[in-house]
Structure 1
Amino acid sequence: MKRLLPWAGQNADGAIALLLAVVIGVLGVMPDTVVPDETQDQLVNAATLVIMALVATALLRDRVRQAPVEETITSGALAELPVRLARLEEIETLVHGTRRALDSLQLVRVLGSRQEIAQCHAEARKDTTRWSFKGGTGTYLRAVTLPECVAAARRDKRHLTVRVEVIDPTDTDVCETYAHYRRSLADAPDATGETWTADRVRKESYATVLAAFWHRQRYGLLDIGVGLSSTMTTFRWDLSATRLIMTVEDPNKAMTALAGTFYYENCDTELRLSFEQARRVPLEMYKKVPLSDEPTLEEVQELFERVGLPLPKTYNGKDVVDVARKALRAVDPYGEPAARFTRPNVST
């Protein structure tokens, strides 16, 4: 009763209508001896009118109660909705811009093992249409990057652009400087099993030039350029369409940055400008100095003579063979299996 009375007070019209309906329903089922038919009809008609009046009153009361609420919603929250939506859009734009700024601030990620560096290189090579390299002599480039990228481009029948900058093999001073720097870091042989001397630096750079011509002659959609630098760098840059990888002499340390970041874009500009200033090897002469699948000693010597990079006069047949071996059988300094392509057997 305590719960029923307050409810009845708040809904008196509905309670009265319900009560009348019940009473009339009871009278309607009573026998004629108790309530005559004529009286029943009068009571039903009268009660129906009363119930309709009560229902109309309830509807009017509800409308009166809802009017202030509708006015509040219409003039308040709904009126402010466009403004709030605009603010929400501004916040989303700000969050998106902040996220991009934070991504750009994360300039590089440090790689801490040979395996991680090799995996990063593999991801960079995947489906790339361009590659830029700047470093010492390009050993890893010859051993893995160039043959793998060319093989992938040939498989997909797509264009591949490669730009390579290495030490000028005809510059004795820079070759000696680079060899001294490498020896100062470790006197023992490196992962290739050799120690660094000025002669090795010279042969490695010659090998990179020879490898560029060899691959250019075998894939028509390869656009490759080689620049020779008279200065050395302690870093090696490898830049693909998706990421930059910067390695040092420690085979277990490297840095990487994704395309679109501040660091990637600026390194891309640096490599372009540096390549433009380097001494250019005339790769466009690749048709005039054909190389066999297994280049002969005469072919290798003629190649370097025709492109303006004659081999030292002190080189004998063994030295020329060594250059060809380094060009097409380079040992991967990170321990990956050698690239699978025709390996030369330079003959005299």
Structure 2
Amino acid sequence: MEQIFLSKYAKRIFFFVVSILFILLLLIRLLVVPALGRFLNETYTIIINTILDALLSTGVSTVVIASLAFWLTPKVIKKSHMDIIEPREIKDYLEKARETNEYWFCGGTGRFTRSKTIPKLAVDARNSNFSKKIYLILINPTNNTVCENYVEYRNKIRSGKKHNWDIKKLKKEIYATIVSAYTWNVEQPLLEVKIGLVNHYSLFRVDLSTQLAIITKEDPSEPALMCQKGTFFLKSYLENLRLSMSQGELLDNKVKGIPFSDLNGERIKIFLEELGFHENELSDSDFNEIVEFVKKGDNPYGY
């Protein structure tokens, strides 16, 4: 009932349908039953009237009480609202979230963000001639302890059975997201990118725009939480993301990214060193693989 009252459209439809039903029940009670009374036993007539009276009184009472409860509920409670969305619906909500001028992501490696969100915002910035901002909060690839714990976690969960994770794979994924963000910034200057690295990881990923916030887990077969614009929870998640960004290690925005046409392993290695990453664990073939991650833009979740 609360879900219906939260939507103006659904509320109008609800009251229209309920009004029609009440009118039909009244017509049956006042016109149809007396007309049929000539052919029915008096006992049956009394039973039918009793049932109709009970339906009418119960229905009216339920609607009135629910309406009063909703209208008397404080606005802050009405706005403290989250929805559970099915796995098959996540794609549509993420697409809706990308229709924005400001986007926040907080998660592990940002693979989906790299393949879908960043390119979409970059193209929209070019087509609209207005700037788009994207904020990324990723695991700090230089914190080996956090990386090892995250890898252990990924290999334990259901989605980790298909792809075995190790430290190198994790770092390459994170670096690919960083390189991709800076590269798109070069290709589309109206796309403003800010990246923060944090020394912890979470079970949840947060995709937040001016329209809505979607909270998912690593496994795409699991449901997600969603809160929309104007709700208490969206504002709270946004404040929490800003707090996380302020506590993280911010990457230098003055370092120029590499155009797609110039991407190669050696350029990426130099670029990452300019950002302060000195990776001795990654080989030349690893840096070349990062190039492939950036160029392919594969969607790891299938939507």
Structures share fold, TM-score greater than 0.5: yes
Match for 1:152: what amino acid? D
Kept in 2, the 8 Å contact 1:142–1:328? The answer is: no
1-structure distance, mates of 2:169, 2:119: 22
Percent sequence identity is 26
Tell me how far 1:208 sits from its aligned partner. 1.3
Among 279, 296, 302, the alignment partner of 2:264 is 296
Counterparts of 1:1-348 in structure 2, within 5 Å, are 98=73, 100-101=75-76, 103-106=78-81, 108-113=82-87, 115-126=88-99, 128-186=100-158, 189-190=161-162, 194-252=163-221, 253-286=223-256, 290-310=258-278, 312-336=279-303
2:155, 2:102 → 1: CA distance?
33
Mapped contact 1:179–1:198 kept (Cα < 8 A): yes
Q: 1:103, CA displacement in angstroms? A: 3.3
The CA deviation at 1:293 is 2.1
RMSD of aligned Cα (Å): 2.0
Relative to structure 1, is the Cα distance of residues 187 and 137 closer, same or farther in structure 2, using a 3 angstrom cutoff?
Answer: closer
Q: How many residues align?
A: 234
Instruction: Note the C-alpha offset of 1:232.
Output: 0.9
Paired with 1:153 and 1:188, the residues of 2 have a C-alpha distance of 35
User: Which one-letter code corresponds to 1:123 in the other structure?
Assistant: K
Q: Which residue in the other structure is 1:59 paired with?
A: none
- Unaligned 5+ segments in structure 1 are 1-93, 337-348
Over residues 79-131 of structure 1, what are the superposed CA-to-partner deviations in whole Å (9 max), with x where a residue is unaligned?
xxxxxxxxxxxxxxx9878484453132x111112x310110001112x0000
| Structure 2 counterpart SS, 1:282 | coil
Aligned residue number for residue 5 of structure 1: none
- Which AA in structure 1 matches 2:241? L
- Which range moves more in the overlay, 265-274 or 325-334? 325-334
Give, as a single letter, the amino acid of the residue that structure 2 aligns with 1:335.
G
Q: 1:97 to 1:296 in 2, by over 3 A?
A: farther
Report the secondary structure of 1:313's partner residue.
Answer: coil
Q: Which amino acid aligns with 1:248?
A: K
Q: Tell me, which stretches of 5 or more residues in structure 2 are unaligned?
A: 1-68
Change (3 A) 1:188 1:269: closer
Structure 1 residues 103, 316: CA separation in 2 closer, same or farther (over 3 Å shift)? same
CA pair 170-111 structure 1, distance change in 2 beyond 3 A: same
Once residues 176 and 240 of structure 2 are traced to their aligned partners in structure 1, the CA distance between those partners, rounded to angstroms, is 25
